[in-house]
Amino acid sequence: MKYALLSVFDKTGIIELAKKLLDLGYKIISTGGTAKELIKKNIKVIPVQEITGNPESFDGRMKTISFEIESGILFDRTNKSHVKEAKDLNIKPIDIVVCNLYPFEKTIANPKVSVETAVENIDVGGPTMIRAAAKNFKNVLVVVDPKDYQRVISFCHSESRHRRTKNLERSFANAQDDIRRELAAKAFAHLSLYDSQIAKFLEKEIFPSEITIPGRKVNDLRYGENPHQKASFYLEPNTNSLFKNLKKIVGRELSFVNLTDINAGLESVRLFREPCAAIIKHNSPCGIALGKNISQALERAIDADPESAFGGTTVLNKPMDLKTAKVIGEFKNKKRANIDIIAAPQITKDALEYLVEVRKSMGIYSFGKTMNYEPRAMNIKHIAGGFILQTPDNDIEKGFRAWKVVTRKKPSPEEIKQMKIAWKFISRIRSNAVIVVDKDLPMTRGIGSGQTSRIKSTRIALEQGGKYSQDGILASDSFFPFDDSVKLAAKYGISGIVQQGGSINDILSIEAANNANVSMVFTGRRAFWH
């Protein structure tokens, strides 16, 4: 006799699967709700209690965990002593286990869920059967995903045909082992993700001694960081990330760089309630700007550094309309420059039609109607053989309370406003970072980033800012180790400086600012972004 055990919470496709297994000569063992569904469709079922000799008990907490069930899954069919022992003990050989679990992930997606409700949705019997079947994959097929049902039926058909003809050639045997092993690996991965959600829900420590980072594959990427590398995109379960709604409308598929550039853009624009646009190159903004409307913000972001904007990724925090789309068209017509990727909450129909005419290969993506979200996830920085977990840098505005004016000249209210915008901008620019922000407009005029020397970053930002450095605001994501950056900023006519402070040479920087009649504010907080 051949037996298949069916015990699923998600009943998708289970009726069709059971019918096909019956046609292949399997007897169906089933439990609880699954058995009821099968019986409704006149599918003959062996109730699990007939195998275990015990009734379902404790509100269904005890059903399948038993010597008879686990033995039927676990004994080795290639071991003669196991086969004899199973026969002596009247153990039914369970050759297929089809199981999916109580919806713990869906349950805890409700932020108001009680611990009691969550705990009741922790599956115990299901994982036990899945683990046993996955361990004994050479003898038992384990199926945790309804998407695999048709594949399993095809596999069983082929296996049955080969066995009838006694033509179990090596190539088929190898393919058979590969499928069994693949399904087992999928089962263990499924259990790992499931258990990680339980641990995360119950854990109170933000840095536990052991941790599993769960992920569910979204799709393969066009290629990795370079075209010869492969890459895939994953999301954590129950994430509130805007990436869960990311949708391609037209144009090119995303590569590793495209996706991470969109991420860098989202991190920048989400900090603002006002219309905000960011042009991203190599995971860092080359231009960020605010505007009265999103078209003005985009125009300013491009104008901040049109040379670097070429081939960049445009990310907006407001929907893209036709007026905004025409900014992209004007950029191409005047500068003969292209944008590779656009990502916005929404793209209007007329904007889309226009953009397709501007450049057919441009990737246009939407990620939902709103930007009003606060990432809950911790930051993960991968290193060779492991990763670093850290709390996210999200409460930037709260840090404004600790700002301290350290120079004789006090910044004006308008300068303070520009400093606050500059500090938000620089918090999402690759370190070491120094930027120049326009004296009046909420936009970058010069960005020096990714340098190993702060004076180099300062020089790049000021040179790029050029005439707009006059009376502008200079921001540094950390302290100045020497007074050279302050003196250079004064030569370019910078009116106000905002920096972390905390260097042993702070007094020299303050003196340099006083001598040049430049206001300077210490934030008391660093804004590195690596």
Which residues are part of the catalytic machinery?
135, 282
Q: What is the 8-class DSSP label of residue 468?
A: G
Helices 149-164 and 14-23, packing angle to 10 deg: 0
Residues ≥6 apart with Cβ < 8 Å to 508: 482, 483
Closest by alpha carbon to 304, among 323, 324, 331? 331
Quote the CA–CA distance of 415 and 428 in Å, as a whole number. Answer: 21
Quote the CA–CA distance of 504 and 480 in Å, as a whole number. Answer: 10
Quote the CA–CA distance of 398 and 404 in Å, as a whole number. Answer: 14
Sole residue written with tokens 């972390």? 500
Give percent helix, percent strand, percent coil of the chain, each to the nearest 5. Answer: 45, 20, 40
Q: What is the 8-class DSSP label of residue 233?
A: E
Quote the CA–CA distance of 431 and 450 in Å, as a whole number. Answer: 5
Residues ≥6 apart with Cβ < 8 Å to 133: 73, 94, 97, 99, 140, 141, 142, 184, 187
Q: What is the 8-class DSSP label of residue 361?
A: T
Query: Residue 425: how many CB atoms within 10 A of its CB?
Result: 28
Quote the CA–CA distance of 465 and 236 in Å, as a whole number. Answer: 40
Quote the CA–CA distance of 409 and 414 in Å, as a whole number. Answer: 14
Query: Residue 378: how many CB atoms within 10 A of its CB?
Result: 14
Quote the CA–CA distance of 346 and 323 in Å, as a whole number. Answer: 14
Quote the CA–CA distance of 194 and 211 in Å, as a whole number. Answer: 13
Pairing of strands 216-220, 386-390: unpaired
Sole residue written with tokens 């039914």? 92
- What are the structure tokens assigned to 373, written together? 């979200």
- What are the structure tokens assigned to 192, written together? 């790992």
What does residue 438 show for φ and ψ, rounded to 5 degrees? Answer: -50, 150
Angle value at C-alpha 366, between 364 and 368, nearest 5 degrees: 175
Quote the CA–CA distance of 231 and 255 in Å, as a whole number. Answer: 8
Residues ≥6 apart with Cβ < 8 Å to 480: 454, 486, 499, 503, 505, 509
Burial 437-451 (b: 16+ CB within 10 A, else e): bbbebbbbbbbbbbb
